[in-house]
Structure 1
């Protein structure tokens, strides 16, 4: 139930549970077999399950970034003792050798109080050659090292001597012992190797394990939009790591104001700092220039939720295209390349899709999150849906 405190071991696990030195009875074995189903039954609903319809465009089948063909997502969640609440999330644009088949990409900086590794080369060359890894602020170097290891190990990269590792972060130091730097290279490699297509776990998972959003527990969220065939039939998918403040709005309803809980109010610490990482994927054939334009629109989606990109918030958008025709071979056979690109006049539907998917992904991160207690007993409460849903009904923001 929203608002309940959960024990430290009630987090999603992305590692095997090893039970040694115990003679397990048949009832215990049966309970262990049923555990995944029980945990799934306890999963919180997404915003659409409550009747909230963000925007007007139709989502993809999964309403996730993985609706974009080829995109995979993996998480490693670290929950240890009473102070470690952190993790890693990896987003792969395709399942092949990304260094050898680079994808068009762009990075837009909404507010630059952050440590987004690899951004300058992405914008200079207009492409990306590694997966995107999200983690906490002080684990960026570790994640870069792991991405370099991952790239150098891949078949066909035996002569590679330079790797532009793309790593984003938010600061989860309120709930997590961030100075302990508990994320290891193996944790990053596990998130990459475990990346899958299909449904994406949201909320208190991966890089969102220790984050806080609008004064509530934030985390990982995702959403997508699929354009109708008349507009190209392209898909835009978004994944967010939410850790920022402002004045929460959901579906146009002033939730933060109604609850009396918003940045710089008496009931919330006068701090809107944090960060938000936004990853936008599309299969539309657009290059760096229009991917930059697409990335800028994602910040409008953040604004629609009430985010303010405060002074201390690192708000970045990484956008890439998975269109196979636009992949850039590391070794070109000819000095001139010719690729089909979507015309400027046909990009507006993609812009609208990015805005809507970003807004919904942020809201989904809040709906999926649970209450978490971490470092020094600090607690981030889950969004109290028992209070929020009546507010949304009051403002006709959800379908009755």
Structure 2
């Protein structure tokens, strides 16, 4: 069977376990949809042990209409990846389509489907150039990646079903077949309410986790060997991580690139080794409309994005379930009782927050 258990999002998130990193205040759902004007949709594909893959669509309302644009920035922590649309995103500092995440070899079919979706919008009848943005990580350890199972129908369903409901996390969408830090990875999301001195903004992160290193929870290393013993298998170093950051702070494209840089820095807090074969990317966009925050006032946003990334990564693992995949490979869920025991022994558990 592909999965051993169903996640319980009310009890398994890092914050509910007393394991949330940092001291910042999350938004109402503690996911990226806390940022006004952002929706998320998933399509998840399981087929026995052969396929574990899917699509995750991040849909800002402002680009879901004809001619819509948002300021955006990109940071490439390590460029071993197939991020479609990257160069124009950097050159113009603009996002003009939703962002869709998937498995590596399906990225190109997803990009074509995303173009179909945007061209079909009323008012786009005469559009002749478009920059679809599609990110990916390699889910070939657990899924038959060469079969390229993602179709236009899957992509359109993810885009059209995108909602402001709290983001489903773990083994869903583009995180269905991923693995991270020695355990089963997935989709994770977190948010922070940021005080900018007189006014507040919201910052949200969505992470597709599929990278190597040593899982580190509030400074405590958790290795598969310690947590699972002889039951764990080994995955080659590398693969990737896609980080999507949204805010309504009113940042311009240059400032958003700086925020994206700090997002990748946040991976270090949870143990990324930033291996040679890892594509580590962050895309940041702003839905706020108003521009003009001085750079010297950005520190709270920089701190918030690193915290939110760390928490999103933890939730992507904590809400994932053991998955039996292609070629007999298995990735085990993080044993949360072991994590709590080790963190309690280190004196870093905080009071649980529902």
TM-score (norm: length of structure 2):
0.94
- Partners of 1:73 and 1:91 within 8 A in 2: yes
Match of residue 246 from structure 1: 213
Aligned pair 1:301/2:266, yes or no? Answer: yes
Distance 1:163 1:379, change over 3 A: same
Structure 2 residue runs without a partner (length 5+): none
Alignment of structure 1 residues 1-400 onto 2, 5 Å? 7-8=1-2, 45-94=12-61, 97-228=64-195, 230=197, 232-256=199-223, 259=226, 269=234, 271-325=236-290, 340-399=291-350
- Counterpart Cα distance in 2 of 1:256 and 1:80: 29
- Structure with bigger gyration radius: 1
C-alpha contact 1:247 1:307 (8 A) present in aligned 2: yes
CA deviation after TM superposition for structure 1 residue 255, in Å: 2.0
Deviation at 1:269, TM superposition (A): 3.4
Q: CA deviation at 1:229?
A: 6.3
Whole-angstrom CA distance in 2 between matches of 1:119 and 1:349: 27
Which one has a larger percent strand, Structure 1 or Structure 2?
A: 2
5+ long unaligned stretches in structure 1: 1-6, 12-38, 326-339
Change (3 A) 1:393 1:98: farther
* Runs of 4 or more consecutive aligned structure 1 residues displaced over 4 Å after TM superposition: 39-44
Partner Cα distance (2:103, 2:165) in 1: 25
Q: CA deviation at 1:257?
A: 8.8
CA distance in 2 between counterparts of 1:90 and 1:155 reads 20
Alignment partner of 1:49: what SS? coil
Distance 1:257 1:215, change over 3 A: closer
CA distance in structure 1 between the aligned counterparts of 2:267 and 2:218, rounded to whole angstroms: 12
SS of structure 1 residue aligned to 2:117: helix
Q: Given the superposition, is the C-alpha separation of residues 258 and 399 from structure 1 closer, same or farther in structure 2, using an over 3 Å criterion?
A: farther
Distance 2:198 2:237 in 1: 38
Contact preservation (8 Å) 1:71, 1:197: yes
Measured at CA, do residues 99 and 365 of structure 1 come closer, stay the same or move farther in structure 2, by a change above 3 Å? Answer: same
Once residues 257 and 377 of structure 1 are traced to their aligned partners in structure 2, the CA distance between those partners, rounded to angstroms, is: 18
- Name the count of aligned residue pairs: 349
Residue 238 of structure 1 aligns to a residue whose secondary structure is: strand
RMSD over equivalenced CA pairs, Å: 2.1
Q: Could you tell me how far 1:9 is from its partner in structure 2?
A: 7.3
